[in-house]
């Protein structure tokens, strides 16, 4: 069965510092992988997705993620955090035939001035 | 355009009320979803309509009743809700039908409070 884990339910960084949010997955088939961001009282917004091809995926708002098959990881990074990046971040992958997306538990990012 | 719209944005209702949530997309997507999200948790799937047919009902209580009038609209009818049903209700859609790997696009949600 497909599964997603996100290490760290809460990550705090200083403004201007590197952002690293971790996502590891388990999949019986080559995975598609997604990162979504959710600002307070809003819906989920697609940040980026990996399908096939280039393993470094660039998304919106300066975020990128690297697919590493050997480590079963898809960590999200941003070189310099901004106050507006404070939000909840979810990693997800399709669940397979007849199954819905599997969402990770989420990581709340706080950005300190 | 990847917009999914939801109305209302906020809803407060008593336990005896009947209300409806509305979701709309004009992207030609073939699958539409209702999710329930509690604070600090990922979304939980409630219902899926694929090609306008109810494909998935994740053991949701009958006080929630989905409806898909056409390929662009999705409603969630609410009746006799309980305070524990208070949550953010999200609608989503995807290009492919149920179970596809296509991106799910989410609406802004309806914040429901049951008194």
- Whether residue B42 and residue A105 make contact (CB cut-off 8 A), yes or no, is yes
* Cross-chain residue pair B4–A104, CB shorter than 8 Å: no
What CA–CA distance (Å, rounded) separates B21 from B47? Answer: 13
Q: Which of residues 27-86 of A touch B (CB under 8 A)?
A: 32, 34, 36, 41-46, 49, 51
Q: Is B87 touching A (CB cutoff 8 A)?
A: no
Peptide bond into B8 cis (omega under 30): yes
Chain A residue with minimal CA distance to B45?
Answer: A100
Terminal Cα-to-Cα distance of chain A (whole angstroms): 41
Q: What is the mean pLDDT of each run of 10 residues along chain A (113 residues)?
A: 92 98 90 95 95 91 95 97 97 85 96 97
Tell me, what's the pLDDT at A48? 97
Q: Which residues of A touch B2 (CB under 8 A)?
A: 46
pLDDT for position B1: 64
Inter-residue contact A86 to A98 (CB < 8 Å)? no
Higher pLDDT, B53 or B97: B53
Chain A residues touching residue B43 (CB < 8 angstroms): 44, 103
Give the nearest chain A residue to B41 (CA atoms).
Answer: A105
Convert the pLDDT of each residue in B1-59 to its tens digit: 669 999 999 999 998 899 999 999 999 999 999 999 999 999 999 999 999 999 888 88
Mutation site for A-interface testing, chosen from B4, B91, B103 by largest number of A Cβ within 10 Å: B103
Residue B69 has pLDDT above 70, yes or no: yes
| CA atoms within 13 A of residue B34's CA, in its CB half-sphere | 28
Residues in chain A within 8 Å Cβ distance of B39? none
Q: What φ, ψ does residue A62 adopt, rounded to 5°?
A: 80, 5
């Amino acid at each position: 069965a497909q599964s997603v884990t996100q290490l760290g339910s809460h990550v705090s960084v200083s403004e201007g510092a590197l952002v690293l949010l971790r996502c590891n997955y388990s999949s019986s088939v080559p995975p598609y992988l997604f990162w979504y961001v959710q600002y307070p009282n809003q819906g989920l917004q697609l940040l980026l997705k990996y399908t096939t091809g280039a393993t470094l995926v660039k998304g919106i708002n300066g975020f990128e993620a690297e697919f590493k098959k050997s480590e079963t990881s898809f960590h999200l990074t941003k070189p310099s955090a901004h106050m507006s990046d404070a939000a909840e971040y979810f990693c997800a992958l399709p669940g397979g035939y007849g199954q819905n997306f599997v969402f990770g538990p989420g990581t709340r990012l706080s950005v300190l001035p | 355009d990847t917009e999914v719209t939801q109305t209302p944005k906020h809803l407060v209702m008593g336990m005896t009320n009947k209300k409806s949530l509305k979701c709309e997309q004009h992207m030609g997507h073939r699958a539409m979803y209702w999710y329930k999200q509690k604070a600090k948790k990922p979304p939980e799937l409630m219902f899926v309509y694929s090609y306008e047919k109810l494909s998935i009902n994740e053991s949701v209580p009958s006080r929630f009743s989905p409806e898909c009038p056409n390929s662009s609209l999705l409603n969630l009818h609410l009746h006799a809700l309980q305070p524990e049903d208070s949550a953010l209700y999200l609608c989503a859609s995807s290009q492919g039908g149920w179970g596809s790997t296509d991106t799910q696009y989410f609406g802004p949600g309806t914040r429901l409070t049951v008194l």
